[in-house]
Amino acid sequence: MAQKNNPWETDLPPETPDVSGEAVHKRFNADPIRIAKMSNIKNDFKLPIKLIIGVLALLWLASGFYQVQPSEQGVVLRFGKYIDTTDAGLHYHLPNPIEAVIKVNVTQERSINLGVVENNNMQSRYYNNNQASTALNSFTDSHMLTGDENIVDINLTVVWKIKDAKDYLFNIRSPDITVKVAAQSVLREIVGQSQMQSIITGDRGKVEDETKAELQKLLDDFGSGITIVRVKLQKADPPKQVVDAFNEVQRAKADMERFKNEAEAYRNEVLPKAKGEAVKRLQDAEAYKEAVVNKAKGDANRFLSVYDAYKQGKKVTAERLYLETMEDVLSKSNTTIIDPSSKGSNVLPVLPISK
């Protein structure tokens, strides 16, 4: 029989401890030392948590301050709805997610090009796909029909900027596309009302000014909040497909202008001479008329004066008229005097008075 060394030992089997969750929880909560320690820990954590919450609340409220630069406009949104537009300076709005601010640069100049991008894209497709050269020369959006039914290839640059951030953000969805489509529409309308010659070699500034004015009016009707700064016509040429024929037409027009100028010069040279000759002949005729009329008047007056003298002294007047008549007749005839006393002498009996 075995000896018992432990007086507390019994022959009964040892008691198995209860390790269920409920028993452990009861023993854990029944420990007074642990309860005191947990109470102190809770009291120690209350103050830092409140402080952290307060700091976070202050940071959240402080996040509502925002700075708008001189080149910007701030658009304030409350739950996504427009509230206000703010200018440059320091401002405040309710923090996110209640309110938010979208800053828009209203001084930056943006630009779009009409005709250049289409040509570049076409060249890219041509080289990538290794297609026929006719694909490269096909017509693009840069080709427009003029008022005289010709086609012109135009490259245009439109420079624009934002004047109203609210309208810019909420009235149009794609500003770049809107400006581009509107510019194409306006340019096609203006080109369709113009002659090809005036667009290519004429006053391009007129086309640019008209395009800018009409485009600005159209964008204002859209409420786009965009202002057009300038419009520049980069290129205005006939298409490559007809450039040779166009050059022939231009040379023919140049020859026509040259011939016209030569004709004008000849006319300017001949016409003044003809007018001068006509005036000279008219003046000669007037002078001849005056001379004839005056001579006729003088003869008539002379006849009347002779007639009056004849009536007063018929014999004297008749003798005077006879002498005047004989003087006139003899002055027009050869007169020879023969001296009959010179017969038989050496003196020539004939004296030619007329010589």
* pLDDT at residue 302, rounded to an integer: 85
C-alpha–C-alpha distance, residues 202 and 194, integer Å: 11
* pLDDT at residue 282, rounded to an integer: 92
Q: What percent of the chain has pLDDT above 90?
A: 18
* pLDDT at residue 213, rounded to an integer: 92
* pLDDT at residue 220, rounded to an integer: 92
Phi, psi (deg, nearest 5) at residue 118: -60, -45
Instruction: Name the residue with higher pLDDT: 88 or 16.
Output: 88
* pLDDT at residue 288, rounded to an integer: 92
Instruction: Name the residue with higher pLDDT: 225 or 250.
Output: 225
pLDDT in tens, 305-315: 877 877 787 78
Helix (H, G, I), strand (E, B) or coil at 85: strand
Amino acid identity of 74? G
* pLDDT at residue 116, rounded to an integer: 61
pLDDT in tens, 139-194: 467 788 888 777 888 888 999 999 999 999 998 888 889 999 999 999 899 888 88
* pLDDT at residue 281, rounded to an integer: 92
* pLDDT at residue 173, rounded to an integer: 86
C-alpha–C-alpha distance, residues 311 and 122, integer Å: 116
* pLDDT at residue 117, rounded to an integer: 46
pLDDT in tens, 31-85: 555 555 555 555 555 667 878 888 888 888 877 888 888 888 899 998 888 888 8
Q: Strand pairing of 336-338 and 151-162?
A: unpaired
Q: Is the pLDDT of residue 263 over 90?
A: yes
Element (H, E) at 19: none
Judged by phi (left if over 0) then psi (alpha if -120 to 50, else beta), residue 198 lies in alpha
pLDDT in tens, 192-204: 888 887 788 777 7
pLDDT in tens, 296-348: 999 888 888 877 877 787 788 788 888 888 888 877 777 666 666 666 556 55
* pLDDT at residue 11, rounded to an integer: 52
Helices (H), the chain: 21-29, 32-62, 116-129, 133-136, 165-170, 175-192, 196-200, 204-222, 243-312, 314-331
- Which pair of tokens denotes residue 166? 């609210």
Give, rounded to a whole angstrom, the gap between the first and last alpha carbons of the chain. 217
168 closest CA partner among 265, 102, 261: 102
Least confident segment among 89-98, 200-209, 255-264: 200-209
Decide: residue 110, CB within 10 A, 0-12 exposed, 13-18 middle, 19+ buried. Answer: middle
